[in-house]
Structure 1
């Protein structure tokens, strides 16, 4: 199955946008066209079980992304991941290292993440609401938790709609269609050598700020960016500012790569 996706732009570099676990590819509405206007070919997709991509078979998200790039004839791309999409981006970079030029990780998850007591209690509350059949309350719990103070009514409506669809699709899927954990380790993540931007929001759940700090330690070519205004979903909370920071980072890494190539030729 080919993941549902959109494309824009015709630049020589490609950017792939991977959404969070509470949304779908629409969360990139504020960056999609801006990245294309900045000279990139931009691809955003719905991972399997989200948005318009059905949960129709056993799957590994990172390999689904690889298959999408193969389908589109894309050899290598900068990969931008938000939250769960950041975890998928890391797994993709480990499993298919030759396909990744750059990583931008916004409030990213990480394979093997151990939740704090606070986050574990949150998960138990969500599970209890789902078990009781109160999906509306479970949706509101997610909306209230994962959107920061700068999110507006339209952002909340988008996450509310997307999360309800996610529940409907994933809870109905048989066990044999659930994702397969690729088993990526932190030692393998430490072997990712491409430039990486690791952004964390000051208003996010503390676990994800801790993950950001860990990623900066693990990734040899990472730099951190603290967003004092952001919660967990900066692409929705300040879409124009998030677009600008991604465009600036991609331009910077492209220039660094070009300088390195010139030095190699000269040497």
Structure 2
């Protein structure tokens, strides 16, 4: 039987960003600042419709879509200086973090961001701290021993980060007598998606995670599923299943990253279903 996680696929923020990109595709000289989402199928389709990708702002650009990951304050200032029209598709949950860190800088606190320093969301958040935030990836991060217990810190986390990693870091800060206040900023959809993936992976023979290879949340889903089901596969589309043999008596779980369109998930389900002639049900 095929079991599909209920929360698989686009989250609210990604769906909003993609819809904004498609609805504004007819505008002249329109670009997204970085890929609108981490999914090549979507970005390639948008390119065919005239929406290109830019990694810096230039006078050639007349309209720019800020992707769901968000950007630093300097990008807004540059766009204003160049007379570029901004279509802001920043996820509202990410926008909230931007506002929070800016407010707490005004209050005199130093900022700690828990997350991957190379992830565009973290780069964007740090851009609202004048790039002065301390970024901590995990409990082994070399920045932790360098924290000053005479200072006051404000702590936020990447919206797609694992809650258990954040919890361990918060515990370490407490053990090191660091003065801080932490605001929970992990997206509830991310938490729900990860919980569903873990629960589903525990109860199937094969677990399939569908998503872009550059997608952070897809990678985390794969790590979670692999810890519960050793026969876990991460794929971008149904064509990658051609060499996989499915047993019609096996239970197969499917989840997908927040940047995975519904049609790709449907293709995967259809391929497996046609291969094993199984039934499809909601996994959770």
Considering the TM-score relative to the shorter chain, is it more than 0.5?
A: no
Q: Which has the higher contact order (CA 8 A, sep 6+)?
A: 2
* TM-score between both structures, scaled by the size of structure 2: 0.27
Higher relative helix content: 1
